[in-house]
Structure 1
Amino acid sequence: MMTRSFVGLALVGALGLGGCAGHSRTGAGTPPEREAEARLAEDAEEQAERDAFAQRAIQALRAAGETRAIHYDAEGFLLRLGDKDGSTVFLSNFFDEYLAASPRKRDEVFTRLSRVRALPEMPKTFAEARPDLLPVVRGRTFFEQLRLMVKDGAEKPVPISWRPLGTILGVGLAFDGPETLRYLGPEELSRWGVSFDQALGVALENLRQRSTEPLEQLAPGTCQSPWDDNYAASRLLLDEVVRRCEVRGAPVVLVPHRDLLLITGSEDEDGLRQVASRAMKAVMAPRAMDGRALRLTPGGWVPFMPERLSNAWADFRQLELYTRARDYAEQTRQLEKLHEERGEDVFVAAYTPYQDERERSISYAIWLKGVDSLLPRTDVIFFMDPTLGEEAPPVGIARWEAVEKVAGQLLTPVEGLYPERYRVKGFPTEEQLARWQNDPGELLDEE
C-alpha cells in the first residue's frame, strides 16, 4: 500500500495535463493528498460492499439447502463450497448484476447464484453428452487468469479445455445443463475418449442447429445477433452466420457481451462507429467480455483497428484501452494475492489509461528504481526514484518502444501470463534516462 500511495502522489503532479486517469471520482484539480485519500476511501467502500454481498450470497446458498462448509475468499471474491474437491462460486459477475439491478430485482440475483452450487451432472459417455455440448467464446483473460484464481499459480494447467481465438478471445466447451452450464476439462474429454477438436465439431453442429434465425440489421451492412441464450458471441465461429451480413470490405466483429455479436465491414466507417458505440455500452454491463474487434481473413480471425485517420479510430481506441485496463486490473489483484501468499515482496504495476482535454489518450505504467516489479505492456513508462521523495517528478518518461530498443535487456517477459507482463531487472542508466526526460504532453501526440 505504501508503494501505491507513493506512486499516486508523485504522478498526479507529474502528469499535470488536466486530464483524467483511471476511474477516480475526484476532479482534475484535486490536490494529490486528497486524491490519494479519496482513492483509498473508495477502495475501502467497495470492499465493504463486496463483503456484504458475499454474506448475503452465503445466506442464499444456505437457504437453498447447501450444507457443506462455505469459505469466503475476499481477495479472489469467491466462495469455496466444501473442504475438499468442492465447487467454486465466482462472485464478480453476480455482484455486477446486483449493482445494475433495480432494488426489487436484486433478490433474483441471489436466486440465480444459489443454483450454481449444483453443477449439472456430467454424463458417463460421449454419446450421452453429445446433444448438450456447445462451444463457449469468452475473453481470453477469462481462461488465462483461471489458473491464478483456481490453481494459485501461473505454471499450473487450467482445468478447462480451450484454445486462443484471434489472440484476444478463447473458445472452450460446455455441457449445457437445465440451470447452469459446466465447462469441460481434459479429464472429461479423456474419459469419453475424444479430442478437443472432435468435441468442438459436435458442439458447433449443435450451435448451428440453434442459429437459423436471420440477423437483426442495424443499417445496410451492419448487423447484430438476435439470440439471448448465452451463446450469441459463439456464433462468430459459424462462418455462414457471419456471412449473412453483407458488409463493405472484410467482416469485422465485436463480442463485448456473451449475448451480443456485432458485425460490420472493415471499409464501412459509419458501421464501425455504430458497432463501437453499442460495444461500449455492452462492455459496461454485467458479464461483459472484450471490447476489441476482430477481422476475418483467409487464415481466420485477427485483431482489427481502423486506420488512424478514420473517424472510428478514437472509438475503437477507447474500447481497447478500457478492455486492457479492466483485464490488467483483474490480473493485478490476482498476482498481488499470489505473491502475498508466497511471502514475496513484488510490486505489480498498474495499467492506467489517461486522456487529456483534447481526447488524446495513452496508457502508462510505473517503473520504480530498486523495487522488484512486474510491468504491464503500456504505451508509456514513467521512471520513478522513491529515494527522491513522494513529490519528486519522474526521472524519465518514454514510450515503450523506445525503452525496448535502448534498454530491452532490462525487461524479461513473464511466461504463462496474459495480458503480458515483464519483470524488470535493474534500472536504466543516467545516460539512458537523460534521453527520456520528456514533457508528458509530448507523448500524447499519437502517430
Structure 2
Amino acid sequence: MRKTTRRLVGLALVGTLGLGGCAAPLRASTREARAAEAQWAEHAEGQEQASPEQEQAERDAFARRAMEALRASGETRPIHYEADGFLLRLGDKDASTVFLANFFDEYLSGPPEQRDAVFARLARVRELPDMPETLAEARPNLLPVVRSRTFFEQLPLVMKSEPGKPAPIAWKPLGGFLGVGLAFDGPDTLRYLGPVELARWGLSFEQALGIAMENLRPRSTEPLEQLAPGTCKAPWGDSYAASRLLLDEVVRRCAVKGTPVVLVPHRDLLLITGSEDEDGLNRVATQALPAMMAPRAVDGRAMRLTPQGWVPFMPERLNNAWPDFRKLELFTRARDYDEQTQQLEKLYEEKGVDLFVAAFTPYEDERGRSLSYAVWLKGVDAVLPRAEVIFFMDPALGPEAPPVGIARWEDVSRAAGQLLAPVEGLYPERYRVKGFPTAEQLARWQNTDPGDLFNEDGP
C-alpha cells in the first residue's frame, strides 16, 4: 500500500496527458515492460519518491527491529522473516504469522516519540489468544470483522497457501468490495477464524456470524456522534466500528435524508448519511479522505442500504460531493491493484513465469477530470487490470513513437473482447491478453481526442 500512498498522497493526481514522446525502448520482458509503463505514471506534485531498493531496505530494517522486540518480550520460538510477504512466522510447526505492513505504516505515519509503542504493540501479537476446544468456551468471544475484500482475497497469495488447502480465514463478500469475516476477540489482540476452527465447533459460517453479531449488539448501544443533522459517526474505537454496518438498528439510529449511505474508510470509522443529503455526502467524503491515508484503512467507496442489502453507491455527477467520492474510488482501486500487482509479481517470479502484471494508474487533468488507465504492450504476455482507458503501444515503432491507439475499456471489449481472457480467482479483476488488436481494430482508435477519454457522466 505504501507505494500507492506515496503516489497519491493528498489525492492530487497531476500531469499532462501527452500522446507522443513518452514511449521508452521496449522488449518482450516484464522488467523492460515495467520500465516503459512507468513513463506514463503521474505522481503527486512535489512528492519525493523512494527507490524500490530504499523502500525494501526500510522494510527489512523494520523487520529486524520487530524481531528484536519479540525476543525482548520473551518469544523463544524460531522467528522467520519472509520479505516477499513482509511477515514473520513464529515457530516451525503450526507457526503463528505476524503481518508487518500495518505496524510499518503506523511506524512511518506517527511521531518519532511514539515509534517504540508500535513495537510494543507488535510484540503483544505473539500472545494470540488460545483457541478454545469447545463452542461453549468460544461463543462469548466471537465477533464479526469487516475489512476490504482485497484483504481476504489476497491473503492466500500473501501466505502462499497451497492449492486445495482450506482458506486461512473464513469470510464472505459484502456490498461488492468489502468482506465480512470472523474473529476470536482476546484481551489485547484478535485472532481471525478459519474453516478449521468452525469445523471444530460444528458451526457453519452463517451460524458463527449470527453468534458474532449477537455478541456485537450489546457493545453497540451508545448513541451515534452527530456530525450534522442527518449525518453521523460511530463513537467506538475498538477495531469493530466498521462491523457495526452489519447491525441495521445502529445504521438506522441516524435519521438520514433519503436512504442510508455508509463509508468505512477505516476499521475504527463508520460514517452514515443519506443518499439525498448533499451536505451530508460532502461531509462524510471529507472525513473519509484522510482516513484512507491512515494505517489500517479499509475502503473508500460508499454503499447504500436497499431491501436486498448493501450495494455500491456513487452520487450523481452534478452532485457537489461527486469529485471527492470519485477520488475515494480511484484511490481505493489503485491501492487494491497496487497490492495485487506486488503479490502477483512475486508469485510469477517464484514460478519462473515471465508474465507482465500491468499497473492500474489514476490520472487527473488540469480541469479536474479523472480516469484510470493501463498500458497494453504489443509482444508482451501480460495480465491487464480493469482500467477505464487502454493505451496500445508497439515497441517496434521505436522509443519516440506515440501510442498506436487509445480507447475506453468498453470500446475495446466490444471490438476486441476475444483478446481479453478473465483470470479466474483474482480480485480486483484482471484479464490475460491473447495477442494484440489488428491494424483494422486499432485504426478506429488511432486519432482519439484525449478530451474524449473522460466520461463526464461518471466513472
Residue matched to 1:354? 363
Query: SS of the residue aligned with 1:287?
Result: coil
Correspondence for 1:175: 184
Q: Which amino acid aligns with 1:79?
A: L
Tell me, in whole angstroms, the C-alpha distance in 1 between the residues paired with 2:351 and 2:257. Answer: 53
Q: Is the 2:166–2:195 contact (alpha carbons within 8 Å) kept by the matching residues of 1?
A: no
- Tell whether 2:35 aligns with 1:5: yes
Residues 223 and 245, structure 1, Cα contact 8 Å, conserved in 2: yes
AA matched with 1:191: R
Residue equivalent to 1:52:
61
Code of the residue aligned with 2:361 in structure 1: it is: T
> Quick one: distance in 2 between partners of 1:131 and 1:375?
45
CA contact (8 A) 1:413 1:423 kept: yes
Of the two structures, which has the highest relative contact order with CA contacts closer than 8 Å and spacing of 6 or more? 2
**Pairing partner for 1:430 from 424, 439, 457:** 439
Q: Is the 8 A contact 1:143 1:158 kept in 2?
A: no
- Give the one of 144, 150, 156 matched to 1:147: 156
Question: How far apart are residue 445 of structure 1 and its match?
Answer: 4.7
SS in 2 for 1:160: coil
Cα RMSD, aligned residues only: 1.5
For the structure 1 residues 143 and 65, does the alpha-carbon distance in structure 2 shift closer, same or farther, using more than 3 Å as the test? same
Task: Return the offset for 1:155.
Answer: 7.0
Aligned counterparts, 1:311-322, within 5 A: 311-322=320-331
Q: Indicate the larger mover: 379-388 or 209-218.
A: 379-388
TM-score under structure 2 length normalisation: 0.90
How many Å separate the matches in 1 of 2:277 and 2:262?
A: 12
For residue 414 of structure 2, what is the amino acid of its counterpart?
K
Distance 1:154 1:392, change over 3 A: farther
TM-superposed CA distance for 1:147, in Å, is 1.2
Q: Is contact 2:144–2:243 with CA below 8 Å preserved after alignment?
A: yes
Q: Are 2:424 and 1:415 equivalent residues in the alignment?
A: yes
**C-alpha spacing 1:379/1:245, structure 2 compared with 1 (3 Å):** same
C-alpha deviation, 1:22, in angstroms: 4.4
Counterpart residue identity of residue 365, structure 2: D
CA deviations 1:160-216 (Å, max 9, x no partner) are 111001011100111001111011111111111111111111111110000010000
* 8 A contact 1:137–1:169 mirrored in 2: yes
Q: Which runs of 5+ in 1 are unaligned?
A: 13-20, 27-37
2:380 to 360, 363, 371: 371
Instruction: Write the distance in 1 (CA, Å) between the matches of 2:321 and 2:167.
Output: 37
Which residue in the other structure is 1:442 paired with? Answer: 452
Q: What's 2:254 paired with? A: 245
Whether the aligned pair in 2 keeps the contact of 1:147 and 1:156 (CA below 8 Å) is no
Q: Provide closer, same or farther for how the CA distance between residues 146 and 6 of structure 1 changes in structure 2, counting only shifts above 3 A.
A: same
Shift of 1:70: 1.9
Superposition map of 1:95-106 within 5 A: 95-106=104-115
- CA contact 1:151–1:158 (8 Å) conserved in 2: no
Superposition map of 1:153-192 within 5 A: 157-192=166-201
CA distance in 2, matches of 1:75, 1:387: 34
- Give distance in 2, aligned partners of 1:22 and 1:325: 13
Q: Which moved more, 1:437-446 or 1:195-204?
A: 437-446
Residues 132-178 of structure 1 show CA distances to partners (whole Å, capped at 9, x for unaligned) of: 11010101110000011113568754211110010111001110011
Deviations 1:215-270 (A, max 9, x none): 00000000000001000000000000000000011100000000010000000011
Counterparts of residues 379-418 of structure 1 (less than 5 Å):
379-418=388-427
The 8 Å contact of residues 6 and 390 in structure 1, kept in 2 or not, is answered as: no
Give the letter aligned to residue 332 of structure 1: T
Inter-CA distance 155–125: structure 2 relative to 1 (3 Å threshold): closer
Contact 2:33 2:380 in 1 (8 A): no
Show the counterpart of 2:15: none
User: Which residue pairs with 2:337 in the alignment?
Assistant: 328
Instruction: Name the aligned partner's letter for residue 439 of structure 1.
Output: D
- Does the CA contact (< 8 Å) of 1:233 and 1:260 recur in 2? yes
1:83 Cα deviation from its structure 2 partner? 2.8
Task: Give ranges in structure 2 of 5+ residues lacking alignment.
Answer: 1-30
